[in-house]
Structure 1
Amino acid sequence: MKRSEWLDRDGFAAWLFLAPALLLLGIFLLFPIVYLVGLSFTTGSFTQEGLRWIGLLNYRRLLADPDFLQVIGNTLYFTIATLIPSLVIPLLLAVLLNEAIVLRGFFRSAYFIPSITSIVAVGLGFRWLFQDDGPVNGLLSKIGFATIPWLSSTVWAMPVLILLSTWKQIGFNMVVFLAGLQAIPQSRYEAAELDGANARAKFWHITLPGLRPTLVFAAVTTAIFTLRGFEQVYAITGGGPLNSTNILVYYIYQQAFALFDFGYAAAAATILLAIALILVYLQLKTWQD
């Protein structure tokens, strides 16, 4: 049998096995994205009134809306401020817990537990901790510091959300980094020790280069986690005070399910998708160059 016939048969078999996965991908991913983009060019509702095509009007409204521009700034601040500690702290913990220390298994489990807890339940716990008469302000009073109106302050409310999101992500990224560390050949460290390299030199010249693919994965997943942040805002601040903690997903929720402006919400969601793609692209370029 000719080679081309084998290729045709193998190609047909490959497409046959891929067909169920591609069908599900099209139904649950590609179709919703196309529908979302189309919806962003309409106004109206899904009732008898129906949807009406208005072109780019929703996008013009978004760019002229000061609340939306503030939400974009909040989202970028929240994402970047969560991303950096969510990579640095788990990396340091992973390097430490990769060594043979006492109770290593216990500490690994303890740090991972937050990543499997309900973010709504944790959010309610954080709201209790940081309320005006809560334990955090109580501790500040006992050690002689002035209390802080954490959740009613336009300055301090966002750091509470960032703290929660970082705490939630640390365990997952730590496990990812541990897996990456164990994939680095031990012989590299042994050779570096023979050359007289200290711990810092081994970290910068062996550990970090060896973790490059792992860092890319952790950065991308953390950025996606923060960009789709909703539960912590809903449970703790509700977007306040004065819109200072309103991030893009919560803003989309408000427009779609509180104001029922579905076309406008779809336009905001399309911009969120574009921001996510740009951030992922920049992260991949940064780590791969």
Structure 2
Amino acid sequence: MRNEQIIPWLFLAPALLLLGIFVLYPIAYLVYLSFTTGSFTRAGVHWVGVQNYARLITDSDFWQIVGNTVYFTIATVIPSLVLPLGLAVLLNRLMPIGLRDALRTAYFIPSVTSIAAVGLGFRWLFQTDGAVNHFLGWFGIDAVPWLSSPVWAMPVLILLSVWKQIGFNLVVFLAGLQNIPQSRYEAAELDGANDWQQFWYITLPGLRSTLIFAATTTVIFTLRSFEQPYIMTGGGPFNSTNLLVFYLYEQAFAQFDFGYAAAITIGLLLVTLGLVYFQVRGSQASE
């Protein structure tokens, strides 16, 4: 190998070494753990083959939690895209630049706020004797057991997640709107297109790659949700708010079943890689 071929690898070696130590090796070890049973606190781990993956198929708790996660993801992602898209269009077309920047900053603040602090705040608001029930009491409505009800606990987690994600997607959509030439709207107005037609035929196609990016990042953010059930409900009541990441945390650090937790993690990793692949292909197709 000539010097011209060796020198680039010498420059890349430190980054590749760090990548191998902190990314590739942990993933490889995680795959190995998914084929074992036992824990580090007992007699060690033992090879069991695909037993952990077979257990996933027959574990009723796991499938209930998958259902919880799908419900939580769909109910979070849709408003987390629709609301900021509508707000971004309104801010971009109707607001003066100074006011638009101020509102954009205000909406973005929740995205950079610690989710642990936000979770504690929401738990205080929605506890049985909290501010929300106190407000409802002014209208003669009985107190709702928000966080102890299998019906209402999940919507509270969804509300928190949507509130947390709106600001980030709003900024993303506003950036995408700046890339749509204003001349398209002017030509549409001359042709007699109304606001809805301009939105449907100009804004949405122009935001295709931005929408794909926002949808993918929002789904990934939602799938890896852990703090919400951990802080607010502990996965209850009756497992109704137990999400996939919280469940694998329980399996690993409460039950010390690292092999089963690793199998769950591999499944979640494959779903995430699939979403990233979808984003890349979708972005390429929109170019």
- TM-score using structure 1 length: 0.90
Q: How many Å separate the matches in 2 of 1:26 and 1:274?
A: 19
Fraction of identical pairs, as percent: 69
SS in 2 for 1:196: coil
* Match status 1:114 vs 2:114: no
Which consecutive unaligned segments of at least 5 residues does structure 2 have? none
Does structure 1 retain, via aligned residues, the 8 Å contact 2:209–2:282?
A: no
Counterpart for residue 121 of structure 2: 125
Picking from 29, 32, 53, the partner of 2:47 is: 53
1:193-245 Cα deviation digits (max 9, x unpaired): 12111111111111111111111111111111111100111110010000000
Picking from 222, 225, 235, the partner of 1:226 is: 222
SS in 2 for 1:98: helix
* Match status 1:104 vs 2:100: yes
Q: How many Å separate the matches in 1 of 2:66 and 2:42?
A: 33
CA pair 155-190 structure 1, distance change in 2 beyond 3 A = same
Question: Alpha-carbon deviation of 1:286?
Answer: 7.2
CA pair 281-147 structure 1, distance change in 2 beyond 3 A = farther
Question: Alpha-carbon deviation of 1:184?
Answer: 1.1
Counterpart for residue 137 of structure 2: 141
Question: Alpha-carbon deviation of 1:89?
Answer: 0.6
Question: Alpha-carbon deviation of 1:105?
Answer: 2.4
CA pair 56-207 structure 1, distance change in 2 beyond 3 A = same
Q: How many Å separate the matches in 1 of 2:215 and 2:6?
A: 37
Q: How many Å separate the matches in 2 of 1:121 and 1:26?
A: 34
Give the count of matched residue pairs: 282
Picking from 239, 255, 260, the partner of 1:264 is: 260
Q: How many Å separate the matches in 2 of 1:116 and 1:166?
A: 14
1:99-148 Cα deviation digits (max 9, x unpaired): 35253222111111000101000001101111111111112221233332
* Match status 1:181 vs 2:177: yes
Counterpart for residue 26 of structure 2: 32
CA pair 50-283 structure 1, distance change in 2 beyond 3 A = same
Q: How many Å separate the matches in 1 of 2:178 and 2:233?
A: 40
Question: Alpha-carbon deviation of 1:281?
Answer: 4.8
1:137-193 Cα deviation digits (max 9, x unpaired): 112221233332111111110111011011000000100111100011111111111
- TM-score using structure 2 length: 0.91
* Match status 1:253 vs 2:249: yes
One-letter code aligned to 1:252: L
Picking from 60, 85, 99, the partner of 1:66 is: 60
Question: Alpha-carbon deviation of 1:20?
Answer: 3.8
CA pair 193-252 structure 1, distance change in 2 beyond 3 A = same
Q: How many Å separate the matches in 1 of 2:42 and 2:209?
A: 51
Picking from 190, 204, 207, the partner of 2:203 is: 207
Q: How many Å separate the matches in 2 of 1:78 and 1:219?
A: 15
* Match status 1:41 vs 2:35: yes
Q: How many Å separate the matches in 2 of 1:140 and 1:276?
A: 40
SS in 1 for 2:127: coil
Which consecutive unaligned segments of at least 5 residues does structure 1 have? none
Counterpart for residue 240 of structure 1: 236
Q: How many Å separate the matches in 2 of 1:143 and 1:152?
A: 22
Counterpart for residue 78 of structure 1: 72
One-letter code aligned to 2:116: V
Question: Alpha-carbon deviation of 1:16?
Answer: 4.8
Q: How many Å separate the matches in 1 of 2:18 and 2:94?
A: 45
RMSD: 2.1
Q: How many Å separate the matches in 1 of 2:38 and 2:51?
A: 13
Q: How many Å separate the matches in 2 of 1:160 and 1:35?
A: 36
